Amino acid sequence: MTSICILTPSHIRDIGRFSVLRQSIQLFAPELPHLAIVHTEDCSAFRDRFGDQPSLQIIASKDVLPRSVERRRKKSGTKWLTARWLRPRAIKGWHAQQVAKILALADCPYEAAVFLDSDVFICRPLRVEYFYTEGRLKLFRRRAPNAESLDYDITAHEILGNPLHQVTELYDYIYHPACFRRSSAACLLQEFRRRKRSWVRRFLRERRPSEYHLLGYAAAVLEGAPVIS
């Protein structure tokens, strides 16, 4: 069995929810190491509260995001401290967290990661074996069931630069929990470099970008991962 971790983006307004998630991990998935990507300005609060917990590593967003994204990312705190005067240029936290997930996975010390956001928790025992079939990491996917899912996948193809008139099947990769290999993230970034696509800028300007759809495409199309429908 390959090594796998839980990966969670978070910030100060979600610290209460993150606490519930941590309790559920300690209770139902204690064998899984946990990496938390936290807004840089909130790291001290998270480390004060959770720093002594085993198997938890708190990583500042500045150590994951490109400098230009970290600088423009909407900061935590009261409105007058959250770059309100830069709002036309400020990057939404939701967009920044998605970019951070892809980049953190590509540089992950583990071979795969399970994405759990701060607003979810585990409610029954969750073992490493759940995410594998015949020793290979599962890829959860289904045909896009509605317009929102269609739009997420279309956006992924647009970011990649795939000709839309050649895309005949659209999928939904948004599952809880979703899991992806580090190699899928690396393969995705390599494909962007091969195509000379400035993907971060394209990702940030989209209304419905999805890190799961980009990683799912890399896993299913570029790597040929086993699909669980």
The domain limits of the chain are 1-123, 133-229
Per-residue pLDDT tens over the stretch 132-191: 988 899 999 999 999 999 999 999 999 999 999 999 999 999 988 999 999 999 999 999
CB 58 within 8 A of CB 46: yes
Q: Express each pLDDT in 45-68 by its tens digit.
A: 999 999 999 999 999 999 999 999
In sequence order, the 6+-apart residues with CB closer than 8 A to the CB of 188 are 102, 106, 214, 215, 217, 218, 222
* Predicted structure pTM score: 0.91
- Residue 80 predicted with pLDDT over 50: no
Paired sense of beta strands 142-143 and 171-172, if any: antiparallel
Average pLDDT over residues 201-219: 95
CATH class of the domain comprising 1-123: alpha beta
Q: Residues 13-48: pLDDT tens digits? A: 999 999 999 999 999 999 999 999 999 999 999 999
